Structure 1
Amino acid sequence: LLQADGAARYLEMRGRGIGYPLPGSEEILHTDIDAGDLLILYTDGLTESRRDPTEGELRLIEAARRHAAKPVTEIPAAIAADMHTVVLHPDDTLALAIRLTGSSRPEVPAARAGT
């Protein structure tokens, strides 16, 4: 979650990957998202393409900050392009960007951000 003020935090849930071998997490996470906040949902192929997943998570935050002002439809592909400059471990990648606007409806385009 990249907040409108630039602060970032991970919303973590324990559980299985979606659909493997059974669906989803064991619990549901509830959090508030304010207008202007950007939520990036992604598969591990986005952050684990190099040897250090922690480094990948830090790179993801920086990429999200770099591209946060773009139209939400362009953000997943822009982030994936930044993240996949070096791919040591190829994996499927899917990213979804959600930005809450001033209206009651969030912007929610999904984009397949590469493989």
Structure 2
Amino acid sequence: MAKQITDNASKSPVAQEDILLVRDVTSNTDKKTTVSGLSAAVAANVPEGGLSSKSLTNPHQFRVYRNAAFSLTAGSFAKIPYDTKSYDTGSNLDIVTNTGRFTAVTAGFITLMRQFT
């Protein structure tokens, strides 16, 4: 079990060339990287809009929107056929065959946010 560093005030700041030991849980091996190498890998995988504590623990995220024009009739209900994906970390969202269908792969609560303009 890794030990959490709690007294950061007395520690010197890390340098880009500092070496870090990282556990690869897929292959069950330890690997070495530098602070700059880890920073580049994290930056390359940050979804549009940034990270939050919830996004770090949720492997099933997506961002989808309607790029083409779409009209609604006042007082009616309609499915909005999303046509563009920014990211889909778990490949759970279909915008081709079942337009806009998200397939939940784990039990629990799902939060969906939307914005209409």
Q: Same fold (TM over 0.5)?
A: no
What band does the TM-score fall into relative to the shorter chain? Answer: under 0.3
- Name the TM-score, length of structure 1 as normaliser: 0.22
More strand by share: 2
More helix by share: 1
- Name the TM-score, length of structure 2 as normaliser: 0.21
Higher relative contact order (CA 8 A, sep 6+): 1
Structure with larger Rg: 2
